[in-house]
Structure 1
């Protein structure tokens, strides 16, 4: 007599990503977990249930994006899309079009990148001031580390020519504001932009639908306020939250007080036990903290978002209270500072799994800290293929120490690969492509950008599954297809492990299963 199961997927090429990197034909799901796996003959003879014939297609563990900005991403679909703007005129056209449909309230947008414009110069707010004298405009750069605000928005925030911000800059030319705000300065305006709980809920629902289209079943939100955590929790309790979310908590008093009192929160859908810090800014806005000046901006070596003493004290606080510490570090000075702090606070061979988010430019002298103190590089391979067109202008020869993902893997033993969406596109197969080819989707450059830093396909798949699960303290629950683990699985129309490298980014997800439920089927959401 056969054992009853919920779903049996068979006739497939299923990459389990277990320790042996086994490949099987069939997998059995029951009660939201993987019950069994093996050959078609064995599984079909032992179990009965709904049969899904994969028709030879490949399947993998549900993809994990360990570093993104999930609520921000969800909100972006109701704001002005400035991604791919080719000029300031293009930006203004998009803002004016949106304003005609939204004549009241804040005009919010994100995605502009002056590096794509003919002169590559930062924009100013002169025309925005003329077009919208009574309506606040706030437009974030693609990386979220710079923003353009019109005069009305600056007035609301109380920002003027005399405003000084630690870890940020109110940009002036000839003593007058241009509207450009760098790093901590943009929060002066941002705190006046409010989002209702209902709007945030809509953003989460929209965001998770899109995740399932990409085969993503777990994410790490790298910007979680206390109110965000509470919304995630309430949606989990109501059944509206299907996606698995690992929270990187902002180190504000409400978060710190609550989690110090309650401890780490872990359910089947939520993990909250990590605090997120920004050591520096970003390369695109020249806020990343460098050991030497920017090649294209002499006298500027970037910004630290707070003092070294502050970060050291926070590291000691996190260790004392049993929290994971995840630090955004782009420039080689920022990476040196936080790696030095980690080496002073952590014990060798620890299992605290502290992370460096981005680890974008790391001086060779600092690499051993990853190995000695079990520090996890949380990387975004598409940053390499997005930045490669202009990064040499920014940092010159230091590019030899940048986006060194194979080197980081060699030191740390693992890398967790995410997208940082909405800074990059959310599709994880673009990150897989960037990891293994070091090229953009057009195949540029011919030999790859710093090709010696390529990951092989097995490493690239692990980086978006089991290694990312490990970086979230959940490798015993997700990240591979094994008995007893969450039944999170994705099927694609071609095999990313064997197809021609130029076909990787063209691959489409045909089925996403989360906790044994079909949440995406051939372009039709099933929620």
Structure 2
């Protein structure tokens, strides 16, 4: 009899222990979980409920404390917070997927061949549009001219955007439609001439002459493009992307696609500067939904280094007749920044050249005055004078950089800047030291959208070929823990989203990614080839390899 009572008592105790477990929607265990929290804790397991992390800890603690109908044993595979891209062009990626891909072309002749192949597949197109060429990768590093385009495509207008998005190449038909002549002048832009005639290359603000006459995608086209871009990004482990400059109509489309549950990836949108946008959004104020953050404006101070539109304090070493130019006057920039300072919006200003960085840091300082919580950003912070770095700390300015820009530009950056000035370029470690953080993006589709390429470039300072031996300006490489935080928790901070996500912690949204290889441990040359196995947003698996 006593034996029966003991058995019954043990059963009841066991039942009570099981019933005391808390219910979860998902349990992940037996993993290497890089939380990217403030102490960079490593865990083994976590539980998820209602789209948020319920608890994080050891496998034993999670399995003892929680139960779920969905339990995943990852068998030692690494898990990271969902990857961020805080400076990209999400809609732009979708648009590029619809165009002729000119990335990696080794000559202008190859550009022509790719265009012919694209045109053969799209024979009814009204314009022939492509993107991705970079004359710096060709044997002849001069900008191309329109003659070969005219010979190959005399009857259809052609517009080809340079890799950086700061120059276009047109054929003669497109030039005529755009009304471009030798006498056309555009402030903040350049129409390149040869023998006193347009060559076909338009730089920065001059590109608007072409874009105003080109066919524009409608809302249905853009929906298709955004969904295509989402598929690409989810396959790469990206859970939060960004749109560095959208107008109201496109922002409202993104918001509606989120409401319709078609677009599930999270999007941090910067509002394009312009009077209609300023008038509308300054009155409405910043807002944040489960999937969308709109609380910043995108300003352009200058152009790009590759097309010599970046504004330098001294002339270009390889073209001493120019020092680049501003896209807006100092007075216009100050007016816009003053309006933003009087609001709750962030200012995120594109600054490539040291003159642009110098000007904007001083304008930020004039308006912000001291350290603060405004989280204003310099986008790119690409070439910074030695006497300007301290201003990032003094005014709490976040450097939002793109590590793959360094490994793309390193082949010719010293030609543009000279051996001394280039030392202040792509200075990620020096920038990170100012406030103890930095945000890493890609600027896709200017660069590839794969965040692991940026992680690798920041840590190893070499490109996909392993060039250069020993790394490019290795004094500004960052360690792997910092690189991971720069594309997770620090990026979330730069987006005003750190209270929501960016790290694997109890109460935060359950955005995470599972890789096959551990990028915190594998040899640097293997990082770019690491495989994304799963991508989760809000506790929902949206990609499975």
TM-score by length of 2: 0.94
Could you tell me whether the CA contact under 8 Å between 2:509 and 2:538 is conserved in 1?
yes
Match of 2:398 in 1: 376
Match of 2:159 in 1: 138
What is the CA–CA distance in structure 1 between the aligned matches of 2:399 and 2:76, rounded to whole Å? 35
Alignment of 1:304-343 (within 5 A): 304-343=326-365
Aligned residue for 2:176, secondary structure, equals: helix
Deviation at 1:101, TM superposition (A): 2.1
Deviation at 1:347, TM superposition (A): 2.8
Note if 1:442 corresponds to 2:461: no
Alignment of 1:426-465 (within 5 A): 426-465=449-488
Give 4+ residue runs of structure 1 displaced > 4 Å after superposition: none
Note if 1:198 corresponds to 2:203: no
Could you tell me whether the CA contact under 8 Å between 1:371 and 1:413 is conserved in 2?
no
Match of 1:178 in 2: 199
Note if 1:82 corresponds to 2:102: yes
Unaligned runs of 5+ in 2: 1-18
Aligned equivalent of 1:166, options 170, 187, 204? 187
Aligned residue for 1:490, secondary structure, equals: strand
Match of 1:293 in 2: 315
Deviation at 1:504, TM superposition (A): 1.1
Match of 1:525 in 2: none
Aligned residue for 2:387, secondary structure, equals: helix
| Bigger Rg, structure 1 or 2 | 2
What is the CA–CA distance in structure 2 between the aligned matches of 1:95 and 1:207, rounded to whole Å? 22
Aligned equivalent of 1:250, options 263, 268, 272? 272
Alignment of 1:492-511 (within 5 A): 492-511=515-534
What is the CA–CA distance in structure 2 between the aligned matches of 1:261 and 1:402, rounded to whole Å? 38
Note if 1:386 corresponds to 2:408: yes
What is the CA–CA distance in structure 1 between the aligned matches of 2:84 and 2:132, rounded to whole Å? 23
Could you tell me whether the CA contact under 8 Å between 1:251 and 1:275 is conserved in 2?
yes
Match of 1:40 in 2: 59
What is the CA–CA distance in structure 2 between the aligned matches of 1:444 and 1:64, rounded to whole Å? 26
Note if 1:361 corresponds to 2:383: yes
Deviation at 1:440, TM superposition (A): 1.3
Match of 1:466 in 2: 489
What is the CA–CA distance in structure 1 between the aligned matches of 2:245 and 2:228, rounded to whole Å? 18
Match of 1:70 in 2: 90
Match of 1:30 in 2: 49
Greater CA drift, 126-135 or 445-454? 126-135
Greater CA drift, 36-45 or 152-161? 152-161
Report the aligned-residue RMSD: 1.0
Deviation at 1:460, TM superposition (A): 0.3
Note if 1:19 corresponds to 2:38: yes
What is the CA–CA distance in structure 2 between the aligned matches of 1:300 and 1:131, rounded to whole Å? 33
Aligned residue for 1:92, secondary structure, equals: helix
What is the CA–CA distance in structure 1 between the aligned matches of 2:468 and 2:298, rounded to whole Å? 34
Match of 1:410 in 2: 433
Deviation at 1:412, TM superposition (A): 2.5
Deviation at 1:247, TM superposition (A): 0.6
Deviation at 1:25, TM superposition (A): 0.6
Could you tell me whether the CA contact under 8 Å between 1:251 and 1:276 is conserved in 2?
yes
CA deviation string 1:232-265 (max 9, x = no partner): 0110111111011111111122321221221112
Greater CA drift, 98-107 or 36-45? 98-107
What is the CA–CA distance in structure 1 between the aligned matches of 2:277 and 2:24, rounded to whole Å? 41
Match of 1:99 in 2: 119
Match of 2:8 in 1: none
Aligned residue for 1:316, secondary structure, equals: helix
Note if 1:153 corresponds to 2:193: no
Aligned residue for 1:284, secondary structure, equals: coil
What is the CA–CA distance in structure 2 between the aligned matches of 1:158 and 1:226, rounded to whole Å? 28
Match of 2:3 in 1: none
CA deviation string 1:467-515 (max 9, x = no partner): 0000000101010001111100001111111111111111111111101
TM-score by length of 1: 0.98
Match of 1:54 in 2: 74
What is the CA–CA distance in structure 2 between the aligned matches of 1:359 and 1:91, rounded to whole Å? 31
Greater CA drift, 375-384 or 70-79? 70-79
Aligned residue for 2:490, secondary structure, equals: helix
Deviation at 1:170, TM superposition (A): 1.0
Could you tell me whether the CA contact under 8 Å between 2:245 and 2:297 is conserved in 1?
no
Aligned residue for 2:79, secondary structure, equals: strand
